[in-house]
Amino acid sequence: MSLVVVGSMAFDAIETPFGKSDRIIGGAGTYIAWCASNFTPVKQISVVGGDFPQSELDELANRKVSLEGVQIKKDEKTFFWSGRYHMDMNTRDTLDTQLNVLENFQPVVPDSYQDCEFLMLGNLVPAVQRSVIEQLKTRPKLIVMDTMNFWMEIAMDELKKTISMVDVLMVNDSEARQLSGDFSLVRAAATIMKMGPKYLIIKKGEHGALLFYEDKVFFAPALPLEDVFDPTGAGDTFAGGFIGHIARTKDISFENMKTAIIVGSAMASFCVEKFGTARLREINKADISARLDEFVQLVNFDINLV
Amino acid sequence: MSLVVVGSMAFDAIETPFGKSDRIIGGAGTYIAWCASNFTPVKQISVVGGDFPQSELDELANRKVSLEGVQIKKDEKTFFWSGRYHMDMNTRDTLDTQLNVLENFQPVVPDSYQDCEFLMLGNLVPAVQRSVIEQLKTRPKLIVMDTMNFWMEIAMDELKKTISMVDVLMVNDSEARQLSGDFSLVRAAATIMKMGPKYLIIKKGEHGALLFYEDKVFFAPALPLEDVFDPTGAGDTFAGGFIGHIARTKDISFENMKTAIIVGSAMASFCVEKFGTARLREINKADISARLDEFVQLVNFDINLV
């Protein structure tokens, strides 16, 4: 039984108030794989061009990320995204998007991935996400989907079709408002859960994340940091920590999802400390454990005093 | 030994996307008194005009709010504020401010208030706040101060003088940035704590509140609500819940301040449910207890699963 991850592997060029990166490794699938592989082996589905470095693929393979589902199109170019963040780091401008290999990406699920127990659909074309669900002969125990406003604008019907097939949906606060048509996040959550997902996670960046389930809600804070150096990939890393913890513990209860959100938040807090995936490449189990302790301290209060 | 509260008692006229109020009872001191009196008796210091309703004073007296320190200037008018909120409820426009009795307010601390153990300085002219500290013959065990950007703009030196004399300062996130000159809230907190206060609370409205102390930080979420009907007084109510819990338990440890922030957040979540002080006038101990349970559920996760 295994965790299957679908998502882009890409080149990014990033500008923040703290500096500017060259063309560096990025993509939702990349961040998810680097993060989730701290907790469990990963079976990756993605596509790259001939320009994608073999060394990056080797490093992922060394972390028990299976690459059998990653197509390498030798004569094409890898997906490229360039963006600029402003001081508040909550908004960004896209400077350039070159779809390249993503334009006609048709994912193929290898036979060896058919034991998929947990499926993480990283942000990608909704029809591509759905194609992976449909290729799996046995429905996974838990399907988690990340998406973004871009698909709401150009492919809302396709998006809703995919959303109707998943167990957990992740969006940010403005996307929850856009998808539901309601400003109140509590009412937005109720509306979105009627579209199919039993669980909804609303990411609020530096303001933490909310998990909705039936009439219950759980809140995980973001760690207050001196500087958010580069927010790129924080949402993907959050997703990787969430599904990584779930896949490691094989427990899909609401109680365990709360812990998984804390793990996702802790992993995202590393991600933003350096450009791109740099920080995720450095951390080890001891770092993760210490950061999780910080989260416990951050929210833990003595309920007996109330 | 007692809790002394300083703050304005006023008339407000409020517009929100949900409606418009007539001239209703408002003022930082009013909200603090209505809130804190759920936990402990209050000795109030304020000033009103001859137009302030006796029935309001009677209601407060019935809640064990001592009014000996409330000056009634029969021939003058009560402070009036009018404002308008927009959809996001985090920003507001001031439409009208009439200082009236506040213009030359000189607080007088009655002898019966000299047993003050806990002092809550609601948002007010910094020199007036300081005058109360200076009139107390024995320094209180804990002095908590709320303030706002307005004083940073017109009386920064006066403000800093008062800040240097208190134990706990409360500001919102943009005020913390303005006061420290640093965008990062973590660095802003370090800078502000060097100005005097040992503890700093940064209020983030619907995004919760942070408590800083030495190198420690604690986070309390805001309760996700279907609608924030009127945010007026939410910060004052938060302050009232915080100091009310501290005064009731007589425990000024960091651990108990964490609980006090949760109590403040719970009380503020009631405040925003109706216009002005309406909701605070309705709630009883059972409502408060149930709301506190909701906060425990909101942030409680099983650390053993991590």
Distance CA B159, CA B152 (A): 7
Reduce the secondary structure of chain A to three states and give it as a string: CEEEEECCCEEEEEEECCEECCCEEECHHHHHHHHHCCCCCEEEEEEEECCCCHHHHHHHHHCCEEEEEEEEECCCCCEEEEEEECCCCCCEEEEEEECHHHCCCCCCCCHHHCCEEEEEECCCCHHHHHHHHHHCCCCCCEEEEECCHHHHHHCHHHHHHHHCCCCEEEEEHHHHHHHHCCCCHHHHHHHHHCCCCCEEEEECHHHCEEEEECCEEEEECCCCCCCCCCCCCHHHHHHHHHHHHHHHHCCCCHHHHHHHHHHHHHHHHHHCCCCCCHHHHHCCHHHHHHHHHHHHHHHCCCHHHC
A and B: number of Cβ contacts within 8 A: 102
Q: How far is A87 from chain B (nearest CA, A)?
A: 8
Q: Which of A187, A155, A154, A192 is nearest to A171 (CA)?
A: A192
Percent of chain A with pLDDT over 70: 99
Q: Which of A221, A249, A302 sits opposite B219 (nearest CB)?
A: A221
Q: Is the pLDDT of residue B306 over 60?
A: no
Q: Which of A185, A204, A302 sits opposite B259 (nearest CB)?
A: A302
Q: Does A184 touch chain B (CB under 8 A)?
A: yes
Please report, for residues A3, A139, A151, A200, A220, the alpha-carbon distance to residue A249 in angstroms, rounded to integers and kept in the order given.
12, 19, 32, 20, 19
Overall average pLDDT of the B136-146 stretch = 98
Q: List phi, psi (to 5°) of A175.
A: -70, -35
Q: Is the pLDDT of residue A87 over 90?
A: no
CB spacing of A183 vs B87 below 8 angstroms? yes
Distance CA A159, CA A162 (A): 5
Q: Which residues lie below 8 Å from residue B167, measured CB to CB, with a gap of 6+?
A: B142, B143, B144, B197, B198, B199, B252
Per the CB < 8 A criterion, the answer to whether B256 and B39 are in contact is: no
What is the predicted pLDDT for the residue at B91? 77
Q: B2-305, superfamily in CATH?
A: Ribokinase (3.40.1190.20)
Q: Is the pLDDT of residue A68 over 90?
A: yes
Q: List phi, psi (to 5°) of B245.
A: -65, -45
Q: Which tens digits make up the pLDDT trace of B24-38?
A: 999 999 999 999 999
What is the predicted pLDDT for the residue at A225? 92
Mutation for B interface: A89, A219, A258, A300, most B CBs within 10 A: A219
Q: How confident is the model at residue B300 (pLDDT cuts 50, 70, 90)?
A: confident
Overall average pLDDT of the B82-101 stretch = 88
Question: Which of A117-131, B77-91, B161-175, B285-299 bottoms out in mean pLDDT, i.e. has the lowest?
Answer: B77-91
Q: Is the pLDDT of residue A5 over 60?
A: yes
Q: Which tens digits make up the pLDDT trace of B188-218?
A: 999 999 999 999 999 999 999 999 999 999 9
Q: Which tens digits make up the pLDDT trace of B235-277?
A: 999 999 999 999 999 999 999 999 999 999 999 999 999 999 9
Torsion of CA A181, A83, A168, A128, to 10 degrees: 100
Q: What single-letter amino acid sits at B296?
A: V
Mean pLDDT, chain A, integer: 95
Q: Which of A186, A256, A258 sits opposite B224 (nearest CB)?
A: A186
What is the predicted pLDDT for the residue at A305? 54
CB spacing of B302 vs A262 below 8 angstroms? no
Per the CB < 8 A criterion, the answer to whether B198 and B167 are in contact is: yes
Token pair belonging to A113? 């991935």
Q: How far is A124 from chain B (nearest CA, A)?
A: 29
Q: How far is A179 from chain B (nearest CA, A)?
A: 17
What is the predicted pLDDT for the residue at B106? 97
Q: Is the pLDDT of residue A303 over 70?
A: no
Overall average pLDDT of the B106-110 stretch = 98
Distance CA B80, CA A135 (A): 66
ipTM: 0.89
Mean pLDDT, chain B, integer: 95
Q: Which tens digits make up the pLDDT trace of A20-34?
A: 998 999 999 999 999
Q: Is the pLDDT of residue A93 over 60?
A: yes
By C-alpha distance, the chain A residue nearest B190 is: A226
Q: How far is B161 from chain A (nearest CA, A)?
A: 27
Q: Is the pLDDT of residue B115 over 60?
A: yes
Chain A residue numbers touching B256 (CB-CB < 8 A):
302, 305
Overall average pLDDT of the A185-214 stretch = 97
- Pick A2-300's CATH classification: 3.40.1190.20, 1.10.420.10, 3.10.620.30, 3.40.50.720: 3.40.1190.20
Q: Does A298 touch chain B (CB under 8 A)?
A: yes
Q: Which tens digits make up the pLDDT trace of A236-251?
A: 999 999 999 999 999 9
CB spacing of B185 vs A263 below 8 angstroms? no
Q: Which of B185, B163, B167 is nearest to B175 (CA)?
A: B185
Q: Which residues lie below 8 Å from residue A103, measured CB to CB, with a gap of 6+?
A: none
CB spacing of B297 vs A187 below 8 angstroms? no
Q: Which of B184, B249, B303 sits opposite A296 (nearest CB)?
A: B303
Q: Which of A217, A262, A306 sits opposite B262 (nearest CB)?
A: A306
Q: Is the pLDDT of residue B302 over 80?
A: no
Q: Does A255 touch chain B (CB under 8 A)?
A: yes
Burial class (CB in 10 A: 0-12, 13-18, 19+), A222: buried
